[in-house]
Every structure is written in structure tokens, then in C-alpha cells.
Structure 1
Amino acid sequence: MQSFLPAYRRIVCFLLLLSLVAAVRAQNGTLQVSVTDGKSPLAGATVQIAKINRGGYTNADGRYNTSLAPGTYDVAASFVGFTLQTKPVTITAGQTTNLDFVLEAGTTLNTLVVLGSRNLPRSQTATPVPVDVIDIKRIIGDAPQVSVNQLLNYIAPSFASGTQTVADGTDHIDPASLRGLGPDQVLVLINGKRRHNTAIVNVNGTFGRGSVGTDMNSIPTSSIDRIEILRDGAAAQYGSDAIAGVINIILKSSVNRLNVNVTAGGNVSSKAEDNLDGQTVQTGINYGIPLGERGGYINIGGSYDYRNYTNRSGPWVGTVYKAPNGSDKTDSFLNANNITRDDIHMRAGQSRLRSGQLFLNSSIPFDNGAEFYFFGGLGYRNGQAAGVYRLPGDSRNVLDIYPLGFLPEIHSDIYDKSLAFGIRGNLGKWKADLSNTYGQNQFIFRVVNSLNASLEKASPTRFNAGGPTFTQNTTNLDFSRRFDVLEGLDIGFGAEHRFERYQLTPGDVNSYTDYGRARKIGVGQDGKDILVPDPQGNINTRFGPDGTARAGGAQVFPGFRPENAVNATRSAIAGYVDIEANFTDAFLMGIAGRFENYNDFGSTVNGKLTARYKLSKNTSLRGSVSTGFRAPSLHQRFYSNTSTLFVDGVPYEVGTFTNDSRPAQLLGIPKLKPEKSVAASAGFTGTFGKFTATVDGYFTRINDRIVYTDQFQGSNRPDAPENDRILYDLLRNANASAAAFFANAINTETKGLDVVLTYGTKVGAGNFRVDLASTFTKTQQVGPIKSSERLKGKENIYFSQTSRIYLEKTVPRVKLNLSLNYSIGKFNAFLRNVYFGAVDEATNNQAFMQEYEGKIVTDLTLGYKINKAIKLSIGSNNLLDVYPDKVANIANTTNGQFLYSRRVTQFGYNGRFVFARVELNL
């Protein structure tokens, strides 16, 4: 009954709003807008009607229709890469008025955007905060990249994302950063509605360690029209996670147009196996169907991705096989099996991937100007990543199963589904929007080409290791209106309810059980111990070829155990007010406030103040100050992954414990609380003929930032320091020997500068455009580490040097992007150089410390339109086959396997990628 009531209330609300909207009718006129580039219609162009809260996007025919009350209006039209135009129009009751726009090629900073304001859209140079607009439907035809994260990594100046290697599930979920902050400090929206997070928490050795991000690669690029990136703290407007900014993915709405995009390629590199690996094929399809006679539509986009792994590891360095007496018998072993060291190696590079995604976007207008809308998608991804090679004579191997050792693999099954629906329209002079957004991400770990060594030759080689599921449901009611006060007063307000569920499902019994354990129940007549098998016993009974005890559980990724299972929920309610006042035509000021209450940690209030002042018609100063917050995720509160180790014959737990566990209580680890931020930004925008520039500096301080600690261990040695002996006793009392936690451990400050310059002009009979985008950022820990009282003196474990480097120096602090685009007739050329700045090795070992120098990566694409329907392109990412610096210390390469750093990546180490692309537009 309790689960039924919320759904019942939402249905009643929808019916009520529908009836109210249907009751509002007036004798209006119709405005019909046409937008072209002089040759063909521009589908997806933005149309905005000034002085009222009304606007939208053109359909496949480049048209936009709306019903308006009689009167005179200023109408603006824009499209990425074209100059914004504004025209007046007079609407007469009962009549249709046509308004035609012919846009001219120009800079990329003239597009109208709504992100950052719930009121009237403005051009990018007129917004009080910086917003990038990425025209995905156009970029996807030129860029070598095919996934959302990698497209943005090479286009957006302050966005960073790299493909990880040998990092368990993180191999398939690329952590992303905005302005150098964490993956969980940027909020992702789709069509302006909150997107759910992934189910996986990143606890491995990569950037974003301890964070929970959003999987944008689960959205097919074929369904995306454009992406807006708000580079400013916006938690006061949009809620939790928006400390670094907001990414809004806008889906396509075109109809009667079939688009098929097939990209095929591979890594043709001197360091690839046989000079070619990483073969990739992506097929994207999009088609829209008109609904009714009022401009309704349903647009469907899907993709299928096929990507093979790359391998940049070297041959195994050091001992491959030892005799039982410990002597090195590598050469005789290799000769006897007719193999070389090249046959004993890992896979260090991108993982293998198979992926299918389907998304839809729909709107059904009513005759009174209201509309019912829905969008969502289904996706499945199978990723295959390898671990560290298990050598043949290792106790973790069983020679009867793998005579030459084995390379275990983690196969990840990732399921993603979402659905948002709502109704919006006018209630009197107010614009209203009632919506509900549901999303779920499920991550299932399977271990393949492995074994449970404690089962010896009876072991299976495939395991289901379990995994997490995250579900989120958000209900919103929003109102906005423009008042004819001063030069325009825009007011928006609304409420939100969000429900979240985090579940962790255990794996199969043989994925985590140690079958080589036993316990003593007595002594036999022969004087020998009587043992009975017991996975929790303290006696090892099975040993490997090297004489050490067999390990239990699936090799490379032991399954989640029943005691790790969790089914946790929480809910939050919020209310906000967003006001913008145009005091004069030159001076705009906005203020926003938001209250949120979570049932697991309480309430928070945040605010934001923005301003923009036009120095002239084409130049402005802008700035903002704000407070923000990020609620600790349910993953960080309830994730645990433990295993059993034996100390002096006594079993103890080792791993990650929740903050309400007994180890956390005894060690004084407090419950998690929200991260709190204070941010400020200031910038200049200017348009000088065909040249446009934006320059924005920013500062963000985050207090009580949540980190994932290293493992705490004590010692009972006679010469151990007193605090180590105390810690040892505390852990023993908690039945643990080593423990890691999530904790609000540090404060950080981030400072930076973003510069975006664009120039567009006619060169001969063609169009030429130059884009230069750059970011300079620095994040650092400030103040002391906030350790618990019982762990004073253990600050280097609370927040280690490795964790600090992950936070401060594993994302390039400098990134420069210079793009040149020229099109003439049926031919176009795209050339881009991206400078990825220096990064540092994340390590606690001073001998392994290393700075990897900045590198320039060059992309080139040449395209030719065979006819109106077919376009062919060829090109390359990393045309010059550039690689990061190699790891300098051979001892930091895991026996020569990681020639390039596994902990930090600027742009990956796959080398040159060569591709061909066919686009079909009908």
C-alpha cells in the first residue's frame, strides 16, 4: 500500500494539471518559423520568442510552429556554427504568420542556451555564467571519436575523461572530470531532467577513486542533438552533484529523416600486435516519425558498438617458473613447452566491448499549446577486461587446468534503463512542467578464464561474482513566468522529490569460498589432528606448487559475499526559487536559492548570485558567487567488500567496511555528511565582427570532501609504536585485521581559467572556422586531514600521497584545443590539435614518482558528399602515433607488463586510430 500511494499521487497530479491546461484556451494566432542556411533546412535550430517564456527547436523541415496571443514579438533563431538572428513579428488572432530565417555561417558561440537559467534562453556570450554548446549531430560526422566521453574529452576545454586499464569495472565506466573536480561533482541531465548515476563505485587505482559518476556512454550519439556544458557551480539551481557544473544532453527531435552512420577502424600503430589491434565498428541509426498535425514526433536512435581490446604490455620480466625448492627454472620451462616470454603477458590497454543502446524522444502537443512528452532508453554493454597474469608455478594456479598459467578476465554485464515523462504548458500566464524521471543501472561481474585454486582441479573456470544495482526516481513540478517589470523580470520556482535505492547482490558460493580451510575438532588415536572442512576454519589444508596455501575465491575478482549484500533506500525533497531581473538592457542580475532535506542526514540550504553587465552591444562582463553541496551517495554509505585472512590462526576480515560497521565505530570513523562548496567566477565575453571570445576565471572550495581511505592496519610487535598496538587491538576487537572506509577527510581548493576563441568567415567559395579552447586548472588539498581521534598519527593512511596525487595531478592541469574546419561544395576538411598537459604518477613509493610530460595529439578527417544522401569520410585520431612517456622505473611496471602508467592517463596509450565512415541521410 505504501508503494502504491506515491504512484497514485503522481497520477492524480498529472490528471489535475492536464485538466487545468486543457481549460486554458484563447483566440490566438499561429507563428510558423522557417530556418535554413540558404540551401537546405536546419533541423534542430533554436527558436526563442523574447518577452515571453516560449521557444523550441525546428523539425526535420527546419520549421517551428507555436500558438501566440495577438501582439508584436521579437523572435530569435540560432544554430551551432551560424550567426544568431533576431526579427520582429506581429501576430493576428486567428491567422498564421510566416517568419523566415536564412542563417549565415559564423562562430560557434552564438547559439541560444537555456542551461543555467529556467527563464529565457540567451546566446552564449550573453549568459551570466559560461556555457559550452557541442553540436553532436554535426561533430559526429567529422570527429574520429564515437562515444560521448571521448567526444567531449577532445572538444570541451574543461572536460577530461580517459579509458582505464586493469581496473575491474572501471575499465568499462570512464571516470570524467569537469574543471578538475571529481566524477561525482558534475550533474548530468537529459532534456533538462536529472540522469541517474552508475551502480559501481570506483575503488580501484584510477582517477576519481572513491567516487560514483554518471555513465554518459550509455547514451547513443545517434540520438543526441547537442550537449550543453554549464561550467559553474549550480547546486542552488539543480541540486546535489552540481558543484563543478552541469552537463545537459539534448536529444534529437527531427522527423521524416533517416540517418545511418557507420564508422569502422582500428589502431594502426607501431606498438600494436601485428601493427593493428583495437578494431572498432560503430553503427548508429536515427529516425523520427511525425505524430498528429501539431508538430508532434517520436524520434528513435540506436547504436551497436563492437570494439576489440588493445595491448601495449611487454614480455614478462623476471622469473616465470620456480622449482619446488625455489630455484629459477624459467628457461627449461619455456623450452619444454615450446614457448617464449612473449607468450606470458597481460593485456594493458583498452578493454574489449560489445554494446547495444536504444533511445527515444517524443512530444505530443495539444491544441492549447500544452504538450505531453516522454523520453528514455534501454542499453546493454558487455565489457571484457583482463587482470594480472597468474604464473604456472603460482599457488593461485592449478597445473592440471592451466599448464602454462592463465590470464583471468572480468566480464562485465551492464544494464541501463530509463524513462521520463511529463506534461508542460501554460497555466494562465505561468509556464508549468510536471514530470517524473526513472532510471536504473545494474552492473554484474562475471569472472572467466579463471579458477578457485582452493578447489584445485575440480574448480570451474567461470564464476558469477554478483554486483550492484542503483535505482533513482525523481518527480519535479516547475513553474516560470516573465513579468513586464523593469526590462524584464523572470521568476521560476518548483519542487522535487527523489527516491534512491542501492542494492548489492552476492555472487555464487564458489566465487568467494575458500575450500582449503578446515578446523580442528580433536586428535585421533594416531596422534594426528582430526580436521573437518570449514571455509571459516583457521587451518590451511591445500597448497600450491610453490608450497604456499591455495587462495580461495575466483582469481582476479572474488565474488561479493552474503555479508556484503545490501538493499538500502533513501528519499529527498527540495524546493527552489530562481529569479533574474534585467534592471536595464545592459545590467542583469539573478538570485537562486534551494532547500533540500534528506531522510538520512538532514537539510541543506544553498544560494547563488549571478550578474552580467554589457559594456557595449557586443561585449560583457559576467560573474557569479554560490554555495553548493553534494550528498554522499548510497554507494559510499553502504558499499562493502570483505574477505577473510588468518592472523596467528584466527580469522579476521580485511577490506572495505561501511561507516556504521563495528570496525568504523571502534575506530571513531563518523557517519558521512554532505560535501559543502563555495564558488566564484568572473569573466569577459566579446564579439568583434567574425571573432568571438570568452574568458572566465573561477575558484571553488570544497569542505568535508569524501575520500576512500587506504587500509588501516596495526601491529603487535614488541617494538611497534604504541598507536600501532592500540590500532591492532581495536581491529582485533572488531574482528578485522585491515580496514578501509569512506570518510569526510579533507578540504580542497580549485582555481582555474577557461578561454574560448572562435572565428568564422568565408574563404573563397567555402566556409572556414577556427576554434581555440583552453583550460588551466589547479586543485590542491588545503588545511589538515580530518582524521578521527583514535586514528591520530595515521593521516598518511586517511589520505595518502597516492590519493592526493589522484586528486591533484592525474588530470591534465593544462589542455589546449585548436580546431580548423573548412567546407567547400561537397568537400570538407577537419584538423584538430589537442595539447594534454603533464600528469604525475600516483604512488606512495618515492622511487616510482614521475611526471609524464604534456603531448600534442592530432586528428584529421577528410569528407566528401557523393550526393545529397551519402557522405564518405576517412581520417585518424592521433595521426602522428603519439604515446605518453614510458614508466621510468622497471620495478613499477609489474614485471614489464605496464610499459605505460596504469594509474594515470592523459589520452590513453592506444596510438594511431585510423577510420572510415559512411553517412546516409534520407
Structure 2
Amino acid sequence: MNKSLKLCTLSSTLVLLGSLTAVGAPAAFAQEAAPELEEVVVTGSRGAPRTALESAAPIDVFSAQDFQDQGTSDMNDLLRNLIPTFNVDVQDINDSNSLVRPATLRGLPADDTLVLINGKRRHRSAAIQFGRQGTHFPDVAQIPPIALRQVEVLRDGASAQYGSDAIAGVINFILKENSEGGTFEAKHGRLSETDDGMLNYFAGNVGFPLGDNGFASISFDKTDQRRSDRGIQRGDAQAIIDAGNNAVRVNVMRQGLPDTEMMNFFVNAGVDLGNQQEVYTFSGYSEKDVELGFFWRNPENRGGVFTSGANQLFADLTPNDGFGCPVIPRGVNPVTGTTSSLAARDASLADPNCFSFAERHPGGYTPDFGGENVDMSNVTGIRGEFDDGTSYDVSIGNGFNEMSYFLNGTTNPSMGPDSPSNFKPGIYTTIENNFNVDLVKGFDVGMYSDLNVAYGVEWRREIFKVRSEDQDSYRIGPYADQGFGVGSDGFQGFGPDQQGSWDRKNWGFYVDLEVDVTERLLLGAALRYEDFYNTFGDTTNGKLSARYRLTETMNLRSTVSTGFRAPSPGQANISNISTGVVDSIPVTQGQIPPTNPISQRFGGEELGPEEADNFSIGWTAEIGGLDLSIDYYKIDIDERILNSATFDITPAIAQELEDSGVSGARSIVSFNYYTNDMSTTNEGIEIVGSWSMDWQEMGTTDFSASYAYTTQELKDFTPGLLTRANIADLEDGIPSDRANFRANHNVGDWRFTLQANYYGDYRSVPSSDDPSRDYTVGAKTIFGTEIAYMLGDRYTFILGADNVFNTLPERVRPEDFFSFTSNEYITSGAFSPNGRFVYTRVQVNF
């Protein structure tokens, strides 16, 4: 359906909704007082603040206490524990995905959810996901939970209101505005099963007055997360050890949490200037270092490093002297009983004219990959009200994120004995600039409330940069022609032809209307025009919303909208070479731009925007002390951006890639590119409830529970572009059923918390070619608990545990253990195989 037809449909729907105004509210109802506002929300509407139950779209509201009373400190995990349709992947060994964790809302990838801070757009991380979704999204882990006053999650399409990325919904992080007092927290914990994964966490917030009418709220947190290991020894590594090569490490690979050090710092400030004007600013600065292990390089069969064909690989350092290097067949020598890797080491040490990497790494090697991330942001603005009652908000926002990759304990094979062991493959940088003017005014149009008219303009620029840092990471060394691989093995450096700077500029105009037509009926409409004037052109999107009050405590609500997500400059231009996994086998893969001639040969073309149609309908109620909402939604997305299937590379294609500027393409065995080629439908039901019970002398208990059923159907794609595993991952790779339960019981100076996260079954497909190896991962419930004691008004001591019963994913079946298997448990799952985590916390208020 084209955009004009979509907007025509929206207009027709508005006429239909408008006809409801002929139905007046009963006189008795009109005389009743409106319910008192409690959880006031601002996300999703530019009209008067309303409660979550009175909004026209489903909104979750979480207080600072909801985040504070959890054991985890990672924002992704905090959100997963609160939002039933929010899922975050477990990323043990997965390139950039382990540095910035991708999440899904309503089954859609992370960059289909718009992230706001204080209502202003948050910039993207520099890291791009080289996985199934091909996503490029903000890193919410760089927001300190202790800085938050409230978090509002709009589970509804909102592109017409906020622009690109708001297809699945909007998460608005609202910062504290305290001008006095403060909080400090210290936490220590570790995994009980393996006695590793140690966490030390410190956080603080303090408020200061700025003059007589201002505030500055300063927050920080610091995380030191040590790695964990749930891996087992690979069969091929153990076989080499059994054959007498004791240089092989035990275990050669680690499966678990990466080493993470992170420091986040946020300032939120504002000053009342008088005359209904306020100047405000908020800034963030973050540093994050993450290190994780890669796949092991087997000295008996790693082609291009240790071996070539059936023999060990030697670099002939004096190729013109008439003498060749030894020929050592792979495997165990039947006469000497020595492995070929040890024989190659001995031969290399004995002959100064021949070199084998077995001389340096007789037991093979496992590269350590990671990134050093720096993030900076600021939004500054002024807001107030003109004499005619028009509210205004003018702001400038700037965001900067830089990811510097490193790779240690590896080689550039083509450099032979001159190869260093540590590399810096390069740097990705994202810069975003925003300028916003937002205006709101109410008009008396003879209805129950004023017609709230919000309108404004936005200009935005996104820049993505790739630059090299270490020539040795992409250098074509002198031994490339002797069969050695090119570039830092595991994550090749960014060569000169991969470097560059790409930008995208757009401006937009929106108008957002909302009115209480009667005391019962609320109507809203929004229209947004955006022009991406230096790339793919313009787009127009609209939204209609309605809420009808059935009784004083019951509401019906519904929305219909169109939406879009523009591809980031990084998605459109990224190229990278790294080690990936195809059918459970590590291979060297290339991610190349969709406009590369090689991509175009396999169906690639310039990326355009995703286009979405959203519909939701729901019912909300206050029944006694129970707040309850039930919502159905359906999201149709056309031209959805995903990563293509993996295409094998012939020597001829490899040479074309090399000629097109992809350094080291001769070592690539397959490649992917990002494409618009898919259409999907996501639909589901979400149920959210909360209630409290007063037990008199026994204290009070606050309960909250939520359930979500989500399905994703792949409707259309070019045959051959996606594998069976890709399709299964999209449609069945996350649990369809998710539920969260939480109970906080307070009695005297004690607090007892119980939390349960339910994950329904889902499918894991390790092989596209062999359906018999598919897994149906069974349903699991993960429990967490805390016991807290408050000493006076200042000190709180807390003992807690996540995953109390040490619930783990399914074990890998015996028939699926191969020589290269290092996982005891399925890791591509909804929750971690790390098991029980126990911790203590201390909080100090002052």
C-alpha cells in the first residue's frame, strides 16, 4: 500500500471516530469527579499529562524504585525483568553484539525502538550488529539506573509523533531533578556454580541547588564485571592433547560473560529564569571496555595460518635460494607418534630459513577480541510560555560515540615471523546532531476540553566514520602468495578503501492534535513529514488514536498509524571481515555494503526505509485495588532491513572483492550484506496488572504482573536470500510467551522481594541443512529474591540472588557434540547459562 492510500485510510478512520462524538455522556456520569491522577505520563502525547490507564496507547510506567530493587545493574536486564515483550540476547562470542547487546521489543530488533532521554532522541552506538538483524541502535547500558526518576515505555508505533525508529515503541528515560540529598550504593556478587563472573558495582547520585530556583542532579555508576566460563574442552583440542601435544590450553575456549569495565556519568540541570521560562541541560559521559574470547585456532587444521591442504604450512623466508621447506603431513606421525603441529614447531626452530606459526603457538591460539568505547552527549534548551499561552521548547542535541576495536593473542599470517600478536583493527564513530523547535497551544473549539495543538520542526544529521588505526591489521604481508591469510586473524583491520565518512541529513515537520471531545471520548491525530534530502527522499506518516471511557474506571483505547525506520549511514556503508559461524562451523566471513557489485550480483541494492502499519486496541480498568490493561497489537513491516543469507565465495568472486577495495578478501569463504528484501507481521497480546494488599500489622505487599504473547511471521522475501535457519530464527527464535511477576513486601524495617521471569519455549536451529538437529527449548521460570534491612533512615543492607534455583538452558545433545563444540548448554537463547548469581548490596541515603 502506498503512502497516499495509507493516509487516505487514516483520514477515513478519523471521520469514523469523529462520528462517535454524537454520542454524548450520560448526565449522571458528567457530574462525577474525574479520578485523581497518580502515575502521570508524558510519553506518547503532547497534551495534558494522564495516567497510564487513561492514555490512548499502552504505556508502562516504572519508578526509580522498580530499578533500584533489582540485583542486576545492566539496564538491558533491568528492562527485561519489567517489560514482558522486551527480550535481550545472550551474547558470549559474537563480535560487536557482545560489546553492545541487542534487544527486541514486540519481537522487533533494537533499532525499531526509539530511545529518548527526557523526551529527547538518544544517539546510536558506533557498534553495528553483524548478526541476523543487522541493527544499529543506542546503548542503553550507558544510562546509570541511579540517575532515573521514572521510565515510560510506549508500546505502540509512534513515527508520526517522534520520527524514525519508533515502529515497535518508545522508551523514555526521565532523569532525576533533585536539588538536595543523595544516594550511594555498593554491590558485590559472583556466580555460585562456577565461582566466577565476579561483579563489583558502585553508584551514586547527589543533588545541588543552582541559585534560588535551579537544580543540578549528578549521577554516576562504575561496573567491574569479570568473565565467566561455561565452556567445555573441545573434542579436537582434547584429541591433540591425548596425542601428546601438551601445549594446548584447557579449556581452549571460554563461553560466558565477557570482561567488562564501565563508567557512566550523567548531569541533569535546570534553572527557572522567571517569566515562565526555564533553561535546561543534561549531559552524559561514558567509558566502556569489553573483552571476550574468540574461536580457537587449531594448529592441526587452521588453514592459512598453520596448514595448507593436507600439510603443515611453512613460510619460505628465502624463496630464491633453491631450498624448500619441510613437508609435514597433518595428523599424528605413525612412526614417531608426534602431532604434526609439534613436528612443525621443531622443524621451524631448526631451520632459520623456514617459519611455521606452530613455533609461536604449538597449541594453537584463541584471540581475545574487544572494544574500548567512549560516549558523550548533551542536550541544551529553553522552554517556557508566550503571552498568548503557547508553550515552546527549543533545544540542540549532540551525541558522539566511538568504538575502538582491539584483538590480542592472534596473528597477521601473511606477515610471517614479523607479525605482531596484538592489533587495533580500527575505529567506528557515530556523531548525531539534532535541532528541535516544539510548540503547543490549546484552542477552545466548543468541546469538553481545549483542542491541544502541538507542532514543530526537527533537523537532524547522522555521521558514521570508519578509520584505520593499525596498518598491520590489514597489511598484505610478503607471505600472502605462499598461502597465508591476510590481516589480523579473527577480525580484520579496516583497510584504506574501507575507510570513509558518510552522513545523512533530514528535516521534518509534525502536527499533533488531541482533544477530549466529551468527558468520555478522547481523540488524537498526528501527521509528520520528513525529507532525507541527501539520501533516499521523503516520507509522510500519520497516526490516529482514541480512548473511550466506559465507566469511571474502565476505558477502551485504540490506535492506528503508519511508521518508518530509516537505515543508518553505518548500515548502508559498513564492510568488515571477521570469524562467524555457519552451521556450527567457524568460518571467515565478510560483511560488505549492499551497493558493492558483488552484493548486487546476489540481489543487493541501495537501502531504503522500512515501512510499517501499526494497529492496537485495548481495555483498561481499575477494579478495586487492581490496575489492569489488556492490549492487542499488529505490526506489518514492508522493506524490512535484515542481514542476508551467507553466500559462498569462489576464488573469482574473492578476487573481485579484493579489486573492489575489500582488503584480504582472498581469505573470505562467505559474505553477507544488508537488504530491504523482507516483509513481516508481528502481532500479540499484552496483559499488565498491579495491585497492593495491606496486611495491617504484617505490613503491605505491592504486586505487579505482566504477560505477553508475541508472534512474528515472515510474509515475503526473495527465495534463496534467507536460509531455513534464518527463517526459523526470525519466526521462532524468541519465546512467544513471556511473563514477569514481582512482589515487594514491606514490614517494619524489612523488605522482602520475589521476582519471577517466565520464558516460553522457542526454537534453536544449529544447522540449515539438517532439520533433525533443531532444538525446541523448553519453557523455564527464573526466580530472583532480595532481603533488605533498613537501619534508621540512612542505611539499607541487602542480600539477594538472581536465578535462585540455578535454572539453565537445555544441554547440547550428545549427537550434536562435534570436534569443535565448546558449549555444554545452548547459548543462543533467551536467558544466560551462567546460573545462580548471589550478591550483597549496601545503600546509603544522605
Residues 1:851 and 2:780 aligned together:
no
Q: Does 1:178 align with 2:105?
A: yes
Amino acid at match of 1:289: F
Q: Are 2:410 and 1:474 equivalent residues in the alignment?
A: no
Match of 1:166 in 2: 93
Within the candidate set 615, 637, 642, 2:550 is matched to 615
User: What are the residue-to-residue correspondences of 1:191-202 with 2, within 5 Å?
Assistant: 191-202=118-129
Give the Cα–Cα distance (whole angstroms) in 2 for the partners of residues 621 and 382 of structure 1. Answer: 48
Matched, 1:436 2:396: yes
**What displacement does 1:216 show?**
0.1
Q: Rate the CA distance shift 1:654–1:159 in 2: closer, same or farther, 3 A.
A: closer
Q: Output the CA distance in 2 between the equivalents of 1:313 and 1:615.
A: 56
| Partners of 2:539 and 2:796 in 1: CA distance | 53
Q: Distance in 2 between matches of 1:446 and 1:746?
A: 34
Q: In 2, Cα distance between the equivalents of 1:845 and 1:667?
A: 21
Secondary structure of 1:366's counterpart equals strand
Q: Is the 8 A contact 1:209 1:806 kept in 2?
A: no
Per the TM alignment, residue 743 of structure 1 is displaced from its structure 2 partner at its CA by: 1.2
Is 1:487 matched with 2:430? no
Superposed counterparts of 1:115-264, under 5 Å? 115-135=43-63, 137-204=64-131, 209-264=133-188
Structure 2: 5+ residue runs without aligned partners? 1-31, 307-356, 580-587
Query: In the alignment, is the contact (CA less than 8 A) between 1:705 and 1:745 conserved in 2?
Result: yes
Structure 2 counterpart of 1:583: 517
Amino acid corresponding to residue 356 of structure 1 in structure 2: M
Aligned residue in 2 for 1:422 = 381
Equivalent residue of 1:435, what SS?
strand
CA drift of 1:466 comes to: 0.4
Instruction: Give, in whole Å, the separation in 1 of the partners of 2:732 and 2:555.
Output: 33
| Shift in CA distance, 666/868, structure 1 to aligned 2, threshold 3 Å | same
| Counterpart AA for 1:292 | G
Give the TM-score taking structure 2 as reference length.
0.84
The one-letter amino acid paired with 1:189 is L
Q: Supply the distance in 1 between the matched residues of 2:818 and 2:112 (Cα, whole angstroms).
A: 32
Give the match for residue 106 of structure 1.
none
1:277 to 189, 193, 196: 196
Quote how far apart the aligned CAs of 1:373 are: 0.3
1:779 aligns with 2:712: yes
Find the counterpart in structure 2 of residue 408 from structure 1: 367
* TM superposition shift of 1:226: 1.7
Residue type of the alignment partner of 2:148? I
Larger CA deviation: 569-578 vs 344-353: 344-353
Report the number of matched residues: 742
CA contact (8 A) 2:690 2:702 kept: yes
Q: Residue 888 of structure 1 corresponds to which residue in structure 2? A: 813
1:77-118 Cα offsets, whole Å, 9 max, x none, are xxxxxxx846xxxxxxxxxxxxxxxxxxxxxxx411010001
CA contact (8 A) 1:666 1:734 kept: no
1:914 equivalent in structure 2: 838
- Mark the CA change 1:134 to 1:177 in structure 2 (over 3 Å): closer, same or farther: same
Separation (CA, whole Å) in 2 of partners of 1:908 and 1:890 = 23
* Distance in 1 of aligned mates of 2:33 and 2:364: 70
Q: Distance in 2 between matches of 1:476 and 1:459?
A: 51
Q: Which residue of 1 aligns with 2:40?
A: 112
1:687 aligns with 2:625: no
Q: What secondary structure sits across from 1:563 in the alignment?
A: coil
2:278 is the counterpart of 1:371: yes
**Would the aligned equivalents of 1:887 and 1:893 in 2 still touch at CA under 8 Å?**
no
**1:309-340: per-residue Cα shift (whole Å, max 9, x none)?**
1110112213557xxxxxxx642424x56x8x
Say which of 197, 221, 244 aligns to 1:333: 244
The one-character-per-residue Cα deviations of 1:226-263 (angstroms, maximum 9, x if unpaired) are: 21100000001000000000000011111221210111
What is the CA–CA distance in structure 2 between the aligned matches of 1:265 and 1:713, rounded to whole Å? Answer: 45
Deviations 1:660-693 (A, max 9, x none): 3332455553211111000100000000121111
Q: Distance in 2 between matches of 1:894 and 1:480?
A: 65
Contact 1:498 1:572 in 2 (8 A): yes
The amino acid of 1:449's aligned partner reads: G
Residue equivalent to 2:338: none
Aligned to 2:220: 302
1:349 CA displacement: 0.9
2:378 partner amino acid: L
Q: CA distance change for structure 1 residues 845 and 467 in 2, over 3 Å: closer, same or farther? A: farther
How far, CA to CA, are the matches of 1:733 and 1:635 in structure 2?
A: 22
Mapped contact 2:133–2:641 kept (Cα < 8 A): no
Letter paired with 2:590: G
Deviations 1:28-64 (A, max 9, x none): xxxxxxxxxxxxxxxxxxxxxxxxxxxxxxxxxxxxx
Provide the C-alpha distance between the structure 2 equivalents of 1:348 and 1:654, rounded to a whole number of angstroms: 21
Q: Once superposed, what is the RMSD of the aligned Cα atoms? A: 2.5
In the TM superposition, what are the counterparts of 1:726-765 in structure 2 within 5 Å? Answer: 739-765=671-697
Quote how far apart the aligned CAs of 1:394 are: 4.9
Question: How far apart, in 2, do the equivalents of 1:258 and 1:898 lie?
Answer: 44
2: CA distance, partners of 1:319 / 1:379: 39
Of 677, 702, 712 in structure 1, the residue corresponding to residue 612 of structure 2 is 677
Q: Flag the 1:431–1:284 CA change in 2: closer, same or farther, 3 A.
A: same
Q: CA deviation at 1:771?
A: 1.0
Q: What secondary structure sits across from 1:811 in the alignment?
A: coil
How far 1:731 sits from its partner (Å)?
A: 8.2
- Give, in angstroms, the shift of residue 751 of structure 1: 0.8
Partner of 1:700 in structure 2?
Answer: 635
Matched, 1:267 2:191: yes
Q: What's the CA shift string for 1:457-485, capped at 9, x where partnerless?
A: 43222111103111101110000122343
1:464 is matched with which residue?
424
Contact 2:424 2:470 in 1 (8 A): yes
TM-aligned CA distance change 1:627 to 1:698, over 3 Å: same
Counterpart in 1 of 2:508? Answer: 574
**For residues 553-583 of structure 1, what are the alpha-carbon distances to aligned partners after superposition, in whole Å with 9 as ceiling and x for unaligned?**
2222121211111201110000000001111
Gap change, CA 1:75 and 1:184, over 3 Å in 2: farther
Q: Letter of the aligned partner of 1:318 in structure 2? A: D
Aligned to 1:629: 564
Q: Secondary structure at the match of 1:637?
A: helix
Q: Residue 795 of structure 2 aligns with which residue?
A: 870
| Distance (whole Å) between structure 1 residues aligned to residue 635 and residue 601 of structure 2 | 34
Q: Distance in 2 between matches of 1:741 and 1:896?
A: 27
* Alignment correspondent of 1:806: 729
8 A contact 1:400–1:457 mirrored in 2: no
Q: Which residue of 2 aligns with 1:721?
A: none
